[in-house]
Structure 1
Amino acid sequence: MTTEAPVAAGRIVLLTASHRVAPGLLSWPAWQTLRAADRVLCADEAHPQLPYLREAGVVVEIAAVTAQELVDACAGGTSQAEGSGEGRTVVVVPSGEGDTALTDGLARLAGSGRVQMPDLELLPGSYDLPGARLLDLVQVMDRIRAECPWSSTQTHTGLAKYGIEEAYELVEAIEDGDRDELREELGDVLLQVVFHARIAQEDEHEPFSIDDVAGTIVEKLIHRHPHVFGDERAETPEDVKEHWLRTKAIEKQRDSVTDGVPLGQPGLALAAKLASRVRSAGLDVPLPAGSGIGYELLALAVRAEASGTDPEAALRAAGRAYRDAIRAAEGQE
């Protein structure tokens, strides 16, 4: 007496693809699986992958199936090898949001113990490249600019103060050493860049986009790092700084070493920046004669810069110590 081998339950392949990668750019294992499958199912008739799958000769059925129907589709039939007795391979192309009802249903069936389940496989058809989530940020910003009553009316001038605030909050997170806060504040600063770039797109006379912003800084970085992207050599950080300053001077064609120093920055930082420019240029410029706290602070800032100390950071550190002392005094009352 012979006993027939049980028919295998087949194979379900959930094919995922990043929406941040152009449709049709799938991995070779994904294309192999699609071509070899007995059936390819997709519930979304507007899925961006469908035109490319059909162009490649893959037959896709537009059908929304339940977990049980999908299991039944895998079992009870033969594969492409006629008479092999094996279960079928069914590939499901989920929607962009994912088919949670289907995956939850499959999980329930598998956990019930009452159903012979097919092999379940999650096959990534494409992966996000580094920086891909920036595309999400651009898309979200586009929608907010179009639909939010507050964001849709903002201008470069109106947002300027937030850029300053976010920069200071980023510095505070760095000095506090709080990694979670640092990640969040970096995002807030990045938002300011994307927001301003989105507003700039709407300018009637000189529009530019976030891609133009990114392209400009990429060109600048490549041009100012000839020791990385060119033939020049730089063995030390001082060599790199020399390259940077020399290239920047050629680009800007400035008349004075003070050109490009923003006068609106905090006073100690301004004094230190001017002192740095004087020192880098090899100039001998005496401090202006004068009396009062301003001239005293100027001298302190110049002295700090000459010793390699950031006077703003030093004063903030002292301010934090003063704050802690105040809190301690309050706690004793």
Structure 2
Amino acid sequence: MTPEESAAPGRIVLLTTSHRVAPGLLSWPAWQTLQEADRVLCADTAHPHLPYLREAGIEVEHTAPDAQDLVDDCAGGRTLVVIPTGGGEGDQRLTDSLARLAGSGRVQMPALELLPASYDLPGARLLDLVQVMDRIRRECPWSSQQTHKGLAKYGIEEAYELVEAIEDGDRTELREELGDVLLQVVFHARIAQEDPEEPFSIDDVAATIVEKLIHRHPHVFGDETAETPEDVKAHWLRTKAIEKQRDSVTEGVPLGQPALALAAKLTSRVRTAALDVPLPTGTGVGYQLLALAAEAEAQGTDPEAALRAAARAYRDAILAAEGVER
């Protein structure tokens, strides 16, 4: 070895992996680096990638050297690859120690590289949610006793809280409330797995909605075209009608929804189906509200949202009159 070669600082590669990706599925740059490395180190003897590394003929040393040991061993231009324990995303203790050494100015540091060996796909964190929910269902005294009926009220509450976050325009609150709504879906799906007669899982739920979305968007996944939102809505209603084979346009309209929303949905169904069904006449505020809801819907206004906005404005006026700051 020449003096120049012995003085070369070498290279430390910190390999990061995702536990949400199947073991052994590593990027090509990661495989190349592992094959060419002088040493591959991993303190975790149960690391999920180890069997695949052994199969590829890569020798892994089960040791956890400190930052100074790594720097010393890189002398002579050697390349060391460190695989974090547990298949995680890095060893914070080690990276901090290497950073302190580099900042000290007392040692000649090797090249430091953070190499992602596997990546999360969009939606990968949903796998974490499914795993967490599965454990909570098994081990939590409260969650393990819940039923679809018992959770129903929470679904309604979370939906309203989501609407409120949207109306407030609070992005942080919106993200949290979307998570709460998502939790309801995952929770119900986990309970459904235990049904003795008709079990289904979160994967079945996702597969059902994926199939529905593809089928109802032939202009995206098929040969049909849609130039306007109205064309898209026509596609949706046409395919939905074929799927459902309903005897009445009122089928599928939940009567438990807020009254203004119910009135708007019914009048929308009638208008879309080109039915000649006059609004019922009668005395009292109910019939007046029905007429107003029908008029708003025909004009493209959501009467429920409009009334909520007006009510919120009234709430703000009350607070102002009371001298209460929001």
More deviation, 231-240/98-107: 98-107
> Can you list the C-alpha shifts for 1:85-136, whole angstroms capped at 9, x where unaligned?
x321110111134323322222222222222221111111111111111111
**What secondary structure is seen at the aligned counterpart in 2 of 1:61?**
coil
- The code of the aligned residue for 1:303 comes to E
Give the structure 2 partner of residue 82 of structure 1. none
Equivalent in the alignment of 1:65: 65
CA-to-partner distance for each residue in 1:169-221, whole Å, 9 max, x for gaps? 11111122222211111111111111111111111111111110000000000
2:106 is the alignment partner of 1:129: no
1:14 alignment counterpart? 14
Of residues 281, 287, 298, the one that matches 2:279 is: 287
Q: Pick the aligned partner of 2:155 from 141, 160, 163.
A: 163
- Verify: 1:239 aligned to 2:255, yes or no: no
Q: Distance in 1 between matches of 2:223 and 2:110?
A: 58
- 2:213 corresponds to 1:221: yes
In the alignment, structure 2 segments of 5+ residues that lack a partner are: none
User: Which residues of 2 match residues 1-333 of structure 1 at below 5 A?
Assistant: 4-5=3-4, 7-75=7-75, 86-95=76-85, 96-97=87-88, 98-331=90-323
More deviation, 233-242/46-55: 233-242
Which range is displaced more, 101-110 or 250-259? 101-110
TM-score by length of 1: 0.93
The one-letter code of the counterpart of 1:92 is V
- Over aligned residues, Cα RMSD in angstroms? 1.5
Q: CA deviation at 1:4?
A: 4.2
C-alpha distance in structure 1 between counterparts of 2:93 and 2:216, whole Å: 53
Read off the aligned partner of 1:310 and give its amino acid letter: D
| TM-score calculated relative to the size of structure 2 | 0.95
**Post-superposition CA distance 1:56-104 (Å, at most 9, x none):** 11111111211122222212xxxxxxxxxx3211101111343233222
- Residue 294 of structure 1: CA displacement? 1.3
**What is the one-letter code of the residue matched to 1:157?**
K
Amino acid at match of 2:180: D
- Aligned AA for 2:51? P
Q: Distance in 1 between matches of 2:274 and 2:53?
A: 65
Q: Secondary structure at the match of 2:323?
A: helix
SS at match of 1:195: helix
SS at match of 2:7: coil
Instruction: Provide the C-alpha distance between the structure 2 equivalents of 1:254 and 1:260, rounded to a whole number of angstroms.
Output: 9
Deviations 1:288-307 (A, max 9, x none): 22221211111111111111
| Counterparts of 2:113 and 2:323, CA distance in 1 | 61
Separation in 2, partners of 1:324, 1:117: 61
| Distance in 2 between residues matched to 1:103 and 1:230, nearest whole Å | 50
3-state SS of paired residue (1:145): helix
Mapped partners of 2:232, 2:3: distance in 1 = 75
Is there any run of 5+ residues in structure 1 with no aligned partner, and where? Answer: 76-85
Which SS does the other structure have where 2:108 is aligned? Answer: coil
Of 35-44 and 294-303, the range deviating more from structure 2: 294-303
Q: Which range moves more in the overlay, 306-315 or 111-120?
A: 111-120
- Distance (Å, rounded) in 1 between the aligned partners of 2:304 and 2:238: 27
State the distance in 2 between where 1:193 and 1:37 align.
46
Q: Partner letter of residue 270 of structure 1?
A: L
Q: Deviations over 1:133-161 (max 9, x none)?
A: 11111111112212222212111111111
Q: Which amino acid counterpart does residue 149 of structure 2 have in structure 1? A: T
CA distance in 2, matches of 1:45, 1:266: 58
Structure 1 ranges of 4+ moved more than 4 A: none
SS in 2 for 1:22: coil
